[in-house]
Amino acid sequence: MQKVLYKIKGGKWFWTICKYAILILLAYQLLYPVLYMISSSIKAPADSYDPSVVWIPKHLSNVGFVDAFKSMKYMSALVGSMQIGLGCAVLDVISCALAGYGFARYRFPLKNVFFVCVILTLMVPTQTIILPYYLNMRFFNPAGIMSLVSMITGKATAINLVGNNLAFFIPSALGAGIRSGLYIYIFKQFFEGMSSALEESAYVDGSGPLRTFLYIMLPNAKNAIVTVFLFSFVWHFNDYYMSKQLLGTNRRTLIVALSSLRVDLAALIGGQTTTDPIRIQTRIQAGCLLTILPMFLLYMLAQDRLADSIEHMGIK
Amino acid sequence: MFKKLPYYTKRKIYGFLFITPWLIGFLLFFAVPFVQSCLYGFQDLTTTAEGMVGTWVGLKNFDYALFRDTQFLIQCAGSLRDLVTVPLILVYSICFALLLKKEYPGRTLMRAIAFLPVIIGSGVLMDIMKTDVFSTSMNTAESTYLFSSSGLTGFFQSMGLPVGMVNFINDVISKIFDLTWRSGVQILLFLAGLHNIPSYVYEAADIEGANALEQFFKITLPMLTPMILLNVVYSVIDIFADYGNAIIQMIYNTAFSSVRFGYASALSILYFLMVAVVLVVLYLVLKRFIVHAEE
């Protein structure tokens, strides 16, 4: 028995070393693109030709950042991204928590059909519906309501929401934003996992369903709320298709700006560089770094709390 | 009036009220566009000042897509082939989640790094990185291989491996980036799933003398099966709807570059049907393996 224990202990050291070796490898290959971004965005374009420069540049330069900043119209794009990301995240949390709670705690006719519909919204690629979706936003007239309004006010029958933040906020407020189905699923699973004793005592004490939801269930659903908020924020921030279509030609988010950075840079720094991918590369990497920077900083500030919440979001 | 209703009817109404916002959103922003998209598939659409005007052309668009378009079916097959990465993603993310489960020095840092792709890994960024990070030469067309492929290829060839095998290895290596940067959400879901397995199950197994491997295959894996199903569905959807997916770009270009809206709708409907068939088949197959833990 003693011998066996000793053997296990020896094995333990071996496993610990193996584990850390694997962890370092994983960390390296996950951080590789970020390190590469940093390394190539701070190097002077001339260094790209020097084969002896691998990671640490010989000549530092901020020309990449300056050019990328200019051609992305960084500040306005950042403001746009933040407005859409934060606004939609808040609205998604509210609408999906309500729906998730309804699905988790109540029985009503067609409930299962509706829940299949929730899953269906996740299954259909955005690209399948983007065209009519775009047209609905371009000539926004839900169920003829705008026509009714126009009969009273005498204005146009449909309003144009393209280029307006409302084109993102309205779907999110109604639980139909980007991947809202997943958030409803998360909330449903979470509320189903909560004990119903608290609610029952609240009902006995004479609290109504909405009051119970707001004062008993929501304060206990912190982990699910943080998770959904983070997901919604990140996915709206990183979204390309919806943003590209619904923002029209005048406004851009960071991701949309990044997607056309190569073309914009070529226009900015003149024709001779377009034929030369290496020289434009440092600037594109600078653009990538600028794009991920806000998310990266926010994440670094709050990662402990966020990751803990997600880890214990309690879905089954 | 409302107060007089029986308790259960009231509960039904309350439940319905809770999901009403979602229901409106579903009808307005999903059901209506989806049905419209289906209808567009049967039309030729032209833009005018008052919006879209369509003429009915029956099955022409679908007929063209399936029997005359030289690209569509090839691209479909291509994106079906991409599904090979799904099992790899699952294995990788289960392993990573297991590594993150227990406390050890440096775990928090590792967890932060593991979630990084979720935070910053947008499709556009991944596309740029793929054509850029791994280019060690000026030649960007075939330089999407991780860790300088030319060196590795030379190494394997000098070892006397056949060319087909070297190419295969290169292919796998080039997918590592894709694989790891797609697995953020899956790791996270598995980690959440791992924390839901009650610790007394493991304690009982310890007392009974089960070793770590047995515990993994007899406890962890069965208890994770609902999460595995969720992750399979998530990964498949993620791959099919990816920004870099050839078919998605084809649909997009058909609609917005060559302005053939009707044909683009037909393509996207066919594509959706393919995705739906894949998902339903996977769901039905995997459903048999799901273990429901008794409370």
Predicted pLDDT of residue A282: 79
| CB-based contact B192 A313, cutoff 8 Å | yes
Give the ipTM: 0.85
Question: pLDDT digit string (tens) for A239-253?
Answer: 888 888 888 888 889
Domain ranges of chain B: 74-136+174-287
Distance from CA of A175 to the nearest CA of B (A): 5
Distance from CA of A59 to the nearest CA of B (A): 20
Distance from CA of A239 to the nearest CA of B (A): 7
Compare all CA atoms of chain A with the CA of B52 and give the residue at the minimum distance: A135
Res B154 pLDDT > 70: no
Q: Which of B166, B186, B184 is nearest to B174 (CA)?
A: B166
Res B192 pLDDT > 60: yes
Distance from CA of A70 to the nearest CA of B (A): 19
Evaluate whether A116 touches A269 at the Cβ level (below 8 Å): no
Evaluate whether B95 touches B187 at the Cβ level (below 8 Å): no
Res B118 pLDDT > 60: yes
* Identity of the residue in A37, A128, A311 whose CB atom sits nearest the CB atom of B195: A311
Residues of A in Cβ contact (< 8 Å) with B118: 234
Q: Where does the pLDDT of residue B1 fall: very low under 50, low under 70, confident under 90, or very high at 90 and above?
A: low
State the Cα–Cα distance between residues B139 and A277, nearest whole angstrom: 9
Q: Which of B200, B197, B264, B194 is nearest to B231 (CA)?
A: B194
Predicted pLDDT of residue A8: 56
Phi, psi (deg, nearest 5) at residue A115 = -70, -35
State the Cα–Cα distance between residues A263 and A272, nearest whole angstrom: 13
Distance from CA of A300 to the nearest CA of B (A): 8
Residues of B in Cβ contact (< 8 Å) with A314: 192, 196
Angular region, B148: left φ>0, alpha ψ -120 to 50, beta rest: left
Q: Which residue has the higher pLDDT, A284 or B281?
A: B281
State the Cα–Cα distance between residues A198 and A20, nearest whole angstrom: 44
CATH number of A2-107+167-311: 1.10.3720.10
Among the ranges given (A9-18, B43-52, B249-258), the one the predictor scored with the smallest mean pLDDT? B43-52
Q: Where does the pLDDT of residue A11 fall: very low under 50, low under 70, confident under 90, or very high at 90 and above?
A: confident
State the Cα–Cα distance between residues B166 and A198, nearest whole angstrom: 62
Q: Where does the pLDDT of residue A1 fall: very low under 50, low under 70, confident under 90, or very high at 90 and above?
A: very low
Assess A44–B contact: CB distance below 8 Å, yes or no.
no
* Identity of the residue in B22, B96, B124 whose CB atom sits nearest the CB atom of A240: B124
Assess A279–B contact: CB distance below 8 Å, yes or no.
no
Q: How many CB pairs under 8 A join A and B?
A: 245
Question: pLDDT digit string (tens) for A200-242?
Answer: 888 888 888 889 999 988 998 888 999 899 999 999 999 888 8
Among the ranges given (A212-216, A275-279, B222-226, B284-288), the one the predictor scored with the smallest mean pLDDT? A275-279
Chain B interface, best mutation among A16, A131, A283, A301, by max B CB count within 10 A: A131
CA angle centred on A126, ends A124 and A127, rounded to 5°: 105
Compare all CA atoms of chain B with the CA of A35 and give the residue at the minimum distance: B133
Assess A35–B contact: CB distance below 8 Å, yes or no.
no
Predicted pLDDT of residue A2: 46
State the Cα–Cα distance between residues A287 and A268, nearest whole angstrom: 14
State the Cα–Cα distance between residues A270 and A273, nearest whole angstrom: 7
Interface of B with A in 120-139 (CB under 8 A): 120-125, 128-129, 132-133, 138
Res A172 pLDDT > 90: yes
| CB-based contact A307 B111, cutoff 8 Å | yes
- Give residue B211's identity as a one-letter amino acid code: N
Find tokens 């003429």 and name the residue. B55
Assess B56–A contact: CB distance below 8 Å, yes or no.
no
Distance from CA of A245 to the nearest CA of B (A): 10
Assess B235–A contact: CB distance below 8 Å, yes or no.
no
List, in order, residues 6 or more apart from B233 with CB less than 8 Å away. B279, B282, B283
What mean pLDDT comes out for the span A36-57?
76
Predicted pLDDT of residue B138: 36
Collapse the DSSP code of B103 into the 3-class scheme (helix H, G, I; strand E, B; otherwise coil) and give the result.
coil
Q: Could you tell me the pTM of the whole model? A: 0.86
Q: Which of A144, A140, A190 is nearest to A169 (CA)?
A: A140
Quick count: other Cβ atoms within 10 Å of Cβ B225? Answer: 17
Average pLDDT, chain A: 83
Selection from A4-8, A49-53, A179-183 with the highest mean pLDDT? A179-183
Q: Which of B116, B175, B119 is nearest to B145 (CA)?
A: B175
Evaluate whether A44 touches A61 at the Cβ level (below 8 Å): yes
CB-based burial label for B160 (10 Å; 0-12, 13-18, 19+): exposed
What mean pLDDT comes out for the span A1-8?
49
Assess B265–A contact: CB distance below 8 Å, yes or no.
yes
Evaluate whether A242 touches A178 at the Cβ level (below 8 Å): yes
* Identity of the residue in B18, B37, B116 whose CB atom sits nearest the CB atom of A101: B18
- Any bridge partners for residue A140, and if so which? A159
* Identity of the residue in B16, B34, B195 whose CB atom sits nearest the CB atom of A312: B195
Domain ranges of chain A: 2-107+167-311
What mean pLDDT comes out for the span B253-280?
86
Residues of A in Cβ contact (< 8 Å) with B196: 314-316
State the Cα–Cα distance between residues A223 and B49, nearest whole angstrom: 49
Evaluate whether B174 touches B149 at the Cβ level (below 8 Å): yes
Res A59 pLDDT > 50: yes
Assess B12–A contact: CB distance below 8 Å, yes or no.
yes
Q: Where does the pLDDT of residue B26 fall: very low under 50, low under 70, confident under 90, or very high at 90 and above?
A: very high
Q: Where does the pLDDT of residue A272 fall: very low under 50, low under 70, confident under 90, or very high at 90 and above?
A: low
Res B83 pLDDT > 60: yes
Superfamily of domain B74-136+174-287: MetI-like (1.10.3720.10)
Question: pLDDT digit string (tens) for A84-123?
Answer: 999 999 999 999 999 999 999 998 889 999 999 998 898 8
